[in-house]
């Protein structure tokens, strides 16, 4: 798939130049976790799709992960602070109700690049659960397209610690990590398609974390269905924009998915991606001629909610429908038609999620990076392939957009190696994990020794420094 002529007439190609990650090296193994909670390990490995959940040490937090990812991105691209005009941080693990995480991150980076070296930069901390990084990317791309950037690039960092209550169903969807994304003109990895970005937004209660709480309040089943519906709605809007703008044409017995070579979805856990693909394909395919053959293979009609008044509550309380729908979905996911799309367009993006767990805002971008690395390692040529991104944030909002991979992605992808980049990992026991989770250890009671990394050294206890964080770079 090539960038269209209509794109070529547009003044500026803007997108992703490079991506750097920082994943903490401590992890909880799914087998230990399953044993401790009395869960069948097969449920975690296959039902959720997680093998290792990354955990932060006592001297790490979302700001250190963000700063470490930024530093790596700057070093890999020989960037000086004056090459950058904006540094945005998107997170739902905010450290302060007022002071933006960016200022802490800039404070850390200035320990390396010199006092006031980032003074000319702008940026804010963005919040909208897991979707805020996508809004930050979109806004920064438009800042460049509008030629407000004075030739400078932007960095968008997504950084989170996904933390749920001990003993809750969310506990096995935890993880931590940061992804720093360099946005510029004529980028090496991917150019965003213009005028197709589609968003939906609604006041919802699926997942939220009121002031003072360390962990969210979650309605798990509700949040799953809401994610699917919101992404489907955004996808519908994306399709209208893409067709109206001439990005592609959809032929008979085709759907929008036929014009998207790779899919990157928000991944609170990897199985969610598999399920979301099934939901989207059912929606896209059910009115096409090929659906009749798929129904024959599934051996049952697609169920419809009986007394639905359109609300999610009315759907999830319809037990019979929910059970039949699950049966139908699982059989659909066994069809060769589903498997082909899954294997060709999505499977590689799930690998990182299995290895590190949930990154909240970072999950979508870690998934995209995973797709690049593992497709490349399989010898696939991704040049000119279109990637469709589906971002979801509880509360809730979804954003669907796309971009085309540039031939120069090869310069970047060849050094991507997730395992090597994370470094030597340390498995922690459930007792150690629980102490970390409950904040029962002091900052200097670390489980790992750190080298060449930003770390948290102090949190002010009283007076005007209460809660203020201090960081340093370990040599």
Judged by the rule CB under 6 A, the positions of this chain that interact with ligand CAA are 40, 42-43, 46-48, 129-130, 169-170, 173, 207, 218, 220-221, 223-224, 227, 266, 268, 271-272, 275, 326, 360, 392, 394
Whether residue 123 contacts residue 150, with contact meaning beta carbons closer than 8 Å, is answered with no
Q: How far apart are CA 263 and CA 255, in angstroms?
A: 14
Cβ nearer to ligand CAA, comparing 202 with 414: 202
In the complex, least distance from residue 405 CB atom to ligand CAA, rounded to whole angstroms: 26
Cβ nearer to ligand CAA, comparing 123 with 170: 170
Q: How far apart are CA 360 and CA 366, in angstroms?
A: 10
In the complex, least distance from residue 354 CB atom to ligand CAA, rounded to whole angstroms: 14
In the complex, least distance from residue 133 CB atom to ligand CAA, rounded to whole angstroms: 12
Cβ nearer to ligand CAA, comparing 53 with 67: 53
Q: What SS3 state is found at 461?
A: coil
Cβ nearer to ligand CAA, comparing 149 with 353: 353
In the complex, least distance from residue 398 CB atom to ligand CAA, rounded to whole angstroms: 10
Whether residue 154 contacts residue 183, with contact meaning beta carbons closer than 8 Å, is answered with yes
Cβ nearer to ligand CAA, comparing 109 with 228: 228
- Say what the alpha-carbon torsion angle 403, 405, 406, 407 is, to the nearest 10 degrees: -170
Cβ nearer to ligand CAA, comparing 227 with 389: 227
Beta-bridged to residue 199, according to DSSP, are 399
Cβ nearer to ligand CAA, comparing 93 with 223: 223
In the complex, least distance from residue 46 CB atom to ligand CAA, rounded to whole angstroms: 4
Q: Which helix (H) or strand (E) holds 185?
A: strand 175-185
Whether residue 34 contacts residue 253, with contact meaning beta carbons closer than 8 Å, is answered with no
In the complex, least distance from residue 241 CB atom to ligand CAA, rounded to whole angstroms: 24
Whether residue 391 contacts residue 235, with contact meaning beta carbons closer than 8 Å, is answered with no
In the complex, least distance from residue 397 CB atom to ligand CAA, rounded to whole angstroms: 11
Q: What SS3 state is found at 179?
A: strand
DSSP string, 279-342: HHHHHHHTTSTTHHHHHHHHTSPPP--SS--S-HHHHHT-HHHHHHHHHHHHHHTTSHHHHHHI
Which residue's Cβ lies closest to ligand CAA?
47
Within 10 angstroms of residue 440's Cβ, the number of other Cβ atoms is: 10
Cβ nearer to ligand CAA, comparing 25 with 271: 271
* Burial (0-12, 13-18, 19+ Cβ within 10 Å), 316: middle
In the complex, least distance from residue 426 CB atom to ligand CAA, rounded to whole angstroms: 25
Closest of 77, 20, 3, 11 to residue 406, by C-alpha: 3
């Amino acid at each position: 798939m090539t960038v269209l002529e209509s794109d070529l007439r547009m003044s500026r190609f803007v997108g992703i130049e490079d991506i750097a990650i920082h994943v903490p090296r401590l992890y909880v193994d799914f087998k230990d976790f399953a044993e401790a909670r009395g869960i069948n390990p097969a449920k975690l490995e296959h039902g959720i799709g997680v093998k290792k959940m990354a955990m932060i040490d006592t001297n790490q937090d979302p700001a250190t992960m963000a700063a470490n990812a930024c530093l790596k991105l700057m070093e890999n691209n020989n960037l000086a602070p004056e090459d950058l005009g904006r540094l945005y941080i998107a997170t739902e693990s905010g450290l302060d109700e007022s002071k933006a995480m960016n200022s802490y991150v800039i404070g850390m980076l200035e320990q390396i690049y010199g006092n006031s070296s980032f003074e000319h930069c702008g940026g804010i901390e963005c919040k909208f659960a897991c979707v805020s990084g996508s809004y930050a990317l979109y806004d920064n791309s438009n800042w460049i397209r509008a030629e407000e950037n004075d030739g400078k690039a932007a960095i968008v960092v997504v950084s989170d610690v996904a933390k749920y209550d001990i003993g809750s169903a969310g506990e096995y969807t935890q993880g931590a990590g940061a992804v720093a994304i360099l946005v510029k003109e004529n980028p090496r990895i991917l150019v965003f398609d213009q005028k197709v970005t589609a968003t939906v937004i609604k006041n919802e209660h699926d997942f939220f974390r009121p002031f003072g709480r360390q962990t969210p309040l979650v309605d798990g089943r509700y949040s799953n269905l809401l994610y699917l519906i919101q992404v489907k709605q955004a996808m519908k809007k994306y399709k209208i924009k893409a067709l109206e703008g001439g990005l592609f044409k959809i032929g008979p017995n085709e759907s929008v998915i036929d014009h998207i070579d790779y899919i990157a979805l928000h991944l609170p856990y990897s199985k969610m991606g598999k399920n979301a693909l099934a939901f989207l394909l059912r929606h896209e395919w059910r009115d096409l001629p090929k659906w009749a053959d798929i129904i024959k293979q599934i051996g049952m009609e697609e169920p419809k909610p009986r007394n639905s008044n359109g609300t999610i509550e009315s759907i999830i309380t319809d037990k019979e429908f929910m059970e039949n729908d699950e049966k139908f979905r699982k059989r659909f996911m066994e069809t060769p038609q589903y498997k082909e799309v899954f294997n060709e367009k999505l499977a590689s993006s799930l690998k990182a999620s299995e290895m590190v767990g949930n990154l909240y805002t970072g999950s979508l971008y870690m998934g995209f990076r995973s797709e690049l690395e593992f497709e490349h390692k399989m010898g696939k040529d991704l040049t000119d392939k279109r990637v469709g991104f589906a971002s979801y944030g509880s509360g809730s909002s979804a954003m669907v957009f796309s971009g085309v991979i540039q031939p120069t992605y090869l310069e970047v992808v060849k050094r991507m190696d997730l395992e090597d980049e994370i470094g030597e990992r340390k498995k922690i026991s459930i007792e150690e994990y629980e102490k970390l989770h409950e904040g029962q250890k002091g900052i200097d009671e670390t489980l790992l020794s750190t080298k060449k990394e930003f770390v948290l050294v102090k949190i002010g206890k009283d007076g005007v420094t209460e809660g203020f964080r201090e960081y340093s770079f370990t040599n």
